[in-house]
Amino acid sequence: MELIKMSTRNEEGLAEELKIAVGAMEISDKTVSDVMTRIDVGGALLTQGYTWFQDVFMLPDTTVLNTKTVAEILRMGYTRIPVYSGDRNTVVSLLFVKDLALLDPDDNFTIKTVCGYHEHPLRFIMEDTPLRVMLEEFKKVSAR
C-alpha cells in the first residue's frame, strides 16, 4: 500500500478508483477506536497516551423541542444526535433530525417523547471492533 502511495505521490492526483482501493486496504488495519469520537463526562479522558475531549454534540432527553432548540439543532448540521438521560455516559436514544420536520415547536414536546415515538434502534459496539466488520454491519442495515 505504501508503494502505491509513493508511486503516485508526484502525479497530479490520484484516480478516484485508486483512492478507493487505498482506503479499502487501510480500513482493514483500523478499529472503531481509531475513528470514533469519545464521550467523557469529566472533560478530558487520558487513554493510551492521548487526551480526548467532549466533542460529541448531545442533548438530554428532557430537552424541550421549542423553536430556539430546533434552530440550534439545525444550526449544528448533524443528521443524528445522541440523546442521554442523566449524564452524558448514559445514551438512551438517537434523535434523527428528519424526525423534526413535521414537528410543531409550539407543542413543546421533549426529545424523549419524539424519540419514543420513532424508536430508532441504538447500536453499541466494542471499540476494538475492526472497521471492516462495522462496514459489513452498515451494509446489512442499509439493505433492509
Q: DSSP string covering 54-96, please?
A: -----EETT-B--HHHHHHHHHHT-SEEEEESSSTT-EEEEEE
Structure confidence at residue 138 as a pLDDT band (50, 70, 90): confident
Of the listed ranges 36-45, 56-65, 73-82, 101-110, the one predicted with least confidence:
36-45
pLDDT band at 78 (very low <50, low <70, confident <90, very high): very high
Tell me which CATH code domain 56-143 carries.
3.10.580.10
Taking CA atoms, 75 is separated from 58, 59, 70, 105, 113, in Å, by 14, 14, 9, 16, 22
CA pair distance 144, 139, nearest whole angstrom = 9
Return phi, psi of residue 128, to 5°: -90, 10
Beta bridge partners of 130: 31
Whether the per-residue pLDDT at 32 is higher than 50: the answer is: yes
Instruction: Give the C-alpha separation, 115 to 57, whole Å.
Output: 16
pLDDT exceeds 60 at position 82: yes
pTM for this prediction: 0.68
Higher per-residue confidence, 76 vs 10? 76
Q: How many residues does the chain have?
A: 144
Return the H-helix or E-strand segment holding 50.
strand 50-53
The answer to whether 144 and 115 have CB atoms below 8 angstroms apart is no
State in Å, rounded, how far the first CA of the chain is from the last one: 34
Domain boundaries, the chain: 56-143
Please, what is the average pLDDT of the chain? 79
